[in-house]
């Protein structure tokens, strides 16, 4: 069996809504295994819990129940973090630093040698087409430029695993193509990739496997090649819509059922949105 | 395109490097902020105003000028420490740049220490710049006054500035501490309140006696003993200005007190940060 790189077991997160002191479950019982070299795409409607899943895996948030292991180490372990790359959603960095300084800063946090850092920053700026803007302060960057820099910083340590939260967001068509290219290079080198996206054609093209998340739960998890091959779904969008609407219908049915039995509105905590 | 190489470029345990990186980053971010220069300009104007007032006073008393100049430096340094300090951690949280830091092999204490050192460096540079400006004016005007030599003038201003800086180290730590869990506005209020209370010094005890309420007197007494005695520090500075060197005992006491305080505040800030969740 291939090496397991990402493994979550019953990973769950509850937040206490400050206003009503009511618990809201934003992720329920996520069980997921991603093996070395695999590219996994997590898709799902806004607010489904995709970003939450990544934050839990990286240790930015702590699980209420269950756990996540990356490279065999618990979420947030420093030895694992040293080998990860992370692109946050809507990255916004330090306004008064230049792009190059920022990459150098991130490299330093990893403890990369100075010479290597400089070289790496130069390479990556080239890769994401920011060489010209490299010495400009980040407050002058456009949204897509920040996104490109975000991608570059996630690769500075030559990570074993990358977590990208919507890598294509805000990018122009050239940028999106660049990202697809970077992804395929990473794949060739055997990097494990976990990413969230709303751009289904891109997901379809680059992923080995996709998971559909809805209202805090992973509804389905399938090899991309099986999705269209089975003939049941026209494309990934069809697959996505099918599973999400089916899940919504299920939730509605079960909440109706419980409403009619004990007329307690609070039973479907997943319905609660803050 | 070389995107990855699964090379072991990163060492899992690096203790100093992240602190240095965060300190430099904080220094750059703060120093490049234009607000800072508006404040410095303000300090310069106050000092120049001091010259005008000084020349009006009898005998062109250089002491008044120095006094005003040093007060301006202390005030502006304090403003920088309070406002930059209270934003220090808060801004990283709000802009979510903290996600970048805590998904790297970096601990809470490294983050806090780096931020603190970076801001202290920035405050140091500002205090030195303003101090140099003041020294230049003092020397330019003071050359023909009294017998004070060039070296003596510089030495005295440096001593004064060191004491001012000692106080600012405390203010910066206080602001850093509050910024780990509170909004900037509240942090500014808390920091200023404690800083001012520290300046009341023994007046707090007097105030307690005046109220004739044993409970209030006791509370004020506790506050007095819990805070660094900045009034004492100001007294020492006053003596310095008139050529009396401070007693080593008092000085050692104050320096130790401030450093112990700073250490405690930073440890608390690190603990708060370490326990934080970023949602
Ligand atoms: N700090 C928070 N306080 C309250 N609710 C939160 C908080 N963070 C996330 N949530 C809730 O958790 C749920 C999942 O959010 P998450 O950001 O994981 O969604 P997502 O799938 O990444 O959505 P998107 O596609 O819009 O990025 C949402 O319903 C959101 O409202
Ligand atoms: Mg998201």
DSSP string, A128-164: TT-TTTTTSBGGG--HHHHHHHHHHHTTTT--SEEEE
A263 domain-assigned:
no
Averaging pLDDT over each range in A115-129, A241-255, B42-56, which range is the top one?
A: A115-129
Same domain for A119 and A228? no
Same domain for A29 and A96? no
Ligand nearest to the CA of A15: 1
Query: Which of A26, A91, A169 has most ligand 1 atoms within 8 Å of its beta carbon, as the pocket-test mutant?
Result: A26
A266 domain-assigned:
no
Q: Is A267's pLDDT higher than 60?
A: no
Same domain for A5 and A110? no
Choice among A75-79, A230-234, B98-102 with the minimum mean pLDDT: A230-234
Report the C-alpha gap between B233 and B250 in whole angstroms.
Answer: 9
Same domain for A6 and A142? no
Same domain for A11 and A68? yes
pLDDT of the residue at B19: 96
Averaging pLDDT over each range in A19-28, B206-215, B247-256, B266-275, which range is the top one?
A: B266-275
Alpha carbon of A57 to ligand 1 centroid (Å): 15
Nearest atom, ligand 1, residue A55 CA: 18
Query: How much is the pTM?
Result: 0.88
Report the C-alpha gap between B165 and B239 in whole angstroms.
Answer: 17
Distance from CA of B118 to the nearest CA of A (A): 14
Same domain for A70 and A176? yes
- Three-state DSSP at A45 gives coil
A220 domain-assigned:
yes
pLDDT of the residue at B148: 61
A78–B107 C-beta distance less than 8 A: yes
B3–A185 C-beta distance less than 8 A: yes
How many domains does one find in chain A? 2
Report the C-alpha gap between A79 and B62 in whole angstroms.
Answer: 60
Beta bridge partners of A223: A209
Choice among A34-48, A67-81, B206-220 with the minimum mean pLDDT: B206-220
A167 domain-assigned:
yes
pLDDT of the residue at B56: 58
B7 domain-assigned:
no
B3 domain-assigned:
no
Angle between helices B203-211 and B184-200 (to 10 degrees): 90
Of A58, A110, A186, which is closest to B4 when you measure between CB atoms? A186
Sign, Cα dihedral of A210, A212, A216, A219: negative
State the ipTM, two decimals: 0.86
Same domain for A164 and A72? yes
B279 lines ligand 1 (CB under 6 A): yes
B207 domain-assigned:
yes
Give the best residue of B1, B3, B122 to mutate against chain A (max A CB count within 10 A): B3
A186–B3 C-beta distance less than 8 A: yes
Q: Which residue of B has its CA nearest to A53?
A: B279
A66 lines ligand 1 (CB under 6 A): no
Please give the order of strands across the beta sheet that includes A217-223.
A84-87, A161-165, A192-196, A39-43, A209-214, A217-223
Same domain for A108 and A17? no
pLDDT band at B60 (very low <50, low <70, confident <90, very high): low
Same domain for A176 and A200? yes
Q: Per-residue pLDDT averaged across A78-87, rounded? A: 95
pLDDT of the residue at A268: 42
B2 domain-assigned:
no
φ/ψ bin of B274: left (φ > 0), alpha (ψ from -120 to 50), beta (otherwise):
alpha
Report the C-alpha gap between A223 and A49 in whole angstroms.
Answer: 21
Same domain for A56 and A184? yes
Same domain for A15 and A125? no
Same domain for A133 and A232? no
Pairing mode, strands A4-17 and A65-70:
antiparallel
A106 domain-assigned:
yes
More confident residue, A258 or A22: A22
B185 domain-assigned:
yes
A61–B12 C-beta distance less than 8 A: no
Q: Per-residue pLDDT averaged across A33-37, rounded? A: 95
Range of the domain at A245: 1-83+159-255
Pick from B264, B205, B265: nearest CA to B229: B205
Is residue A27 within 8 Å of residue A64, measured between CB atoms? no
Is residue B176 within 8 Å of residue B265, measured between CB atoms? yes
B87 domain-assigned:
yes
pLDDT of the residue at A81: 95
Q: Is A260's pLDDT higher than 50?
A: yes
Is residue B187 within 8 Å of residue B178, measured between CB atoms? yes
Q: CB of A244 within 8 Å of any CB in chain B?
A: no
B255 domain-assigned:
yes
Give the best residue of A111, A130, A147 to mutate against chain B (max B CB count within 10 A): A111
Is residue B161 within 8 Å of residue B66, measured between CB atoms? no
Distance from CA of A257 to the nearest CA of B (A): 33
How many domains does one find in chain B? 1
Last residue of a domain, one of A141, A158, A175: A158
Is residue B160 within 8 Å of residue B72, measured between CB atoms? no
Burial B17-55 (b: 16+ CB within 10 A, else e): bbbebbbbbbbbbbbebeebeebbeebbebbbebbeebe
pLDDT band at A119 (very low <50, low <70, confident <90, very high): very high
Residue recorded with tokens 């809470």:
B108
Q: Which two tokens stand for residue A189?
A: 């080198």
Q: Which two tokens stand for residue A16?
A: 């206490």
B6 domain-assigned:
no
Report the C-alpha gap between A180 and A127 in whole angstroms.
Answer: 12
Share of chain A above pLDDT 90, in %: 70
Residue A45: CATH number of its domain: 3.40.50.300
pLDDT, tens digit, for every residue of A174-222?
999 999 999 999 999 999 999 999 999 999 999 999 999 999 999 999 8
Report the C-alpha gap between A253 and A70 in whole angstroms.
Answer: 36
Ligand nearest to the CA of A217: 1
Report the C-alpha gap between A164 and A174 in whole angstroms.
Answer: 18
Choice among A138-147, A206-215, B132-141, B241-250 with the minimum mean pLDDT: B241-250
Report the C-alpha gap between B179 and B112 in whole angstroms.
Answer: 11
A–B interface: beta-carbon pairs under 8 A: 129
Last residue of a domain, one of A114, A139, A158: A158
pLDDT of the residue at B122: 94
pLDDT, tens digit, for every residue of B240-268?
777 777 778 878 888 888 899 999 999 99
Of A97, A116, A127, which is closest to B29 when you measure between CB atoms? A97
Report the C-alpha gap between B264 and B129 in whole angstroms.
Answer: 29
More confident residue, B61 or A39: A39
Atom 8, ligand 1: residue with shortest CA distance: B279
Query: Which of A19, A28, A45, A49 has most ligand 1 atoms within 8 Å of its beta carbon, as the pocket-test mutant?
Result: A49
């Amino acid at each position: 069996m291939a090496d397991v790189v990402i493994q979550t077991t019953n990973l769950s997160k509850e937040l206490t809504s400050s206003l009503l002191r009511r618990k809201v479950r934003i992720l329920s019982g996520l069980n997921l295994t991603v093996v070395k070299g695999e590219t996994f795409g997590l898709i799902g409607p806004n607010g489904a819990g995709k970003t939450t899943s990544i934050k839990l895996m990286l240790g930015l948030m702590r699980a209420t129940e269950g756990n996540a292991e990356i490279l065999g180490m618990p979420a947030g372990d420093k030895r694992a973090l040293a080998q990860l790359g992370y692109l946050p959603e809507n990255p916004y960095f330090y306004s008064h630093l230049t792009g190059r300084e920022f990459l150098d800063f991130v490299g330093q946090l990893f403890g990369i040698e100075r010479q290597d850092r400089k070289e790496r920053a130069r390479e990556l700026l080239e890769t994401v087409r920011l060489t010209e803007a490299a010495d400009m302060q980040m407050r002058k960057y456009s949204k897509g430029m920040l996104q490109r820099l975000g991608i570059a910083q996630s690769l500075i340590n030559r990570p074993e695993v990358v977590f990208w939260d919507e890598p294509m967001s805000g990018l122009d068509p050239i940028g999106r193509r660049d990202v697809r290219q970077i992804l395929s290079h990473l794949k060739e080198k055997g990097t494990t990739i976990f990413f969230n996206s709303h751009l289904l054609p891109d997901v379809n093209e680059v992923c080995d496997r996709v998971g559909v998340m809805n209202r805090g739960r992973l509804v389905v998890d399938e090899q991309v090649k099986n999705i269209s091959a089975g003939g049941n779904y026209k494309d990934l969008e069809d697959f996505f819509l099918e599973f999400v609407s089916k899940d919504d219908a299920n939730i509605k049915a079960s909440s109706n059922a419980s409403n009619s039995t004990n007329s307690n509105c609070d039973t479907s905590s997943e319905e609660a949105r803050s | 395109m070389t995107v990855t190489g699964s090379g072991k470029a990163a060492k899992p345990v690096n203790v100093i490097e992240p602190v240095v990186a965060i300190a430099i980053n904080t220094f750059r971010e703060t120093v490049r902020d234009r607000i800072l220069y508006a404040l410095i300009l303000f300090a310069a104007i106050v000092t120049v105003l001091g010259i005008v007032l000084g020349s009006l006073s009898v005998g062109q008393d250089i002491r008044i000028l120095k006094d005003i100049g040093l007060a301006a430096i202390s005030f502006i340094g304090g403003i920088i420490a309070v406002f930059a300090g209270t934003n220090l951690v808060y801004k990283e949280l709000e802009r979510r740049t903290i996600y970048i830091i805590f998904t790297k092999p970096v601990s809470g204490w490294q983050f806090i220490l780096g931020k603190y050192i970076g801001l202290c460096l920035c405050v140091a540079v500002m205090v030195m710049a303003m101090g140099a400006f003041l020294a230049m004016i003092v020397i330019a005007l003071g050359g023909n006054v009294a017998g004070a030599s060039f070296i003596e003038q510089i030495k005295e201003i440096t001593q004064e500035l060191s004491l001012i800086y000692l106080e600012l180290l405390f203010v910066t730590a206080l602001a850093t501490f509050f910024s780990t869990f509170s909004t900037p506005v509240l942090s500014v209020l808390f920091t200023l309140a404690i800083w001012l209370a520290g300046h009341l010094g023994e007046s707090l005890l007097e105030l307690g006696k005046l109220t004739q309420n044993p409970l209030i007197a006791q509370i004020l007494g506790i506050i007095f003993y819990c805070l660094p005695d900045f009034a004492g520090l100001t007294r020492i500075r006053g003596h310095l200005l008139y050529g009396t060197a401070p007693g080593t005992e008092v000085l050692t006491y104050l320096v130790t007190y401030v450093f112990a305080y700073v250490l405690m505040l930073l440890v608390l800030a690190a603990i708060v940060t370490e326990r934080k969740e970023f949602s």
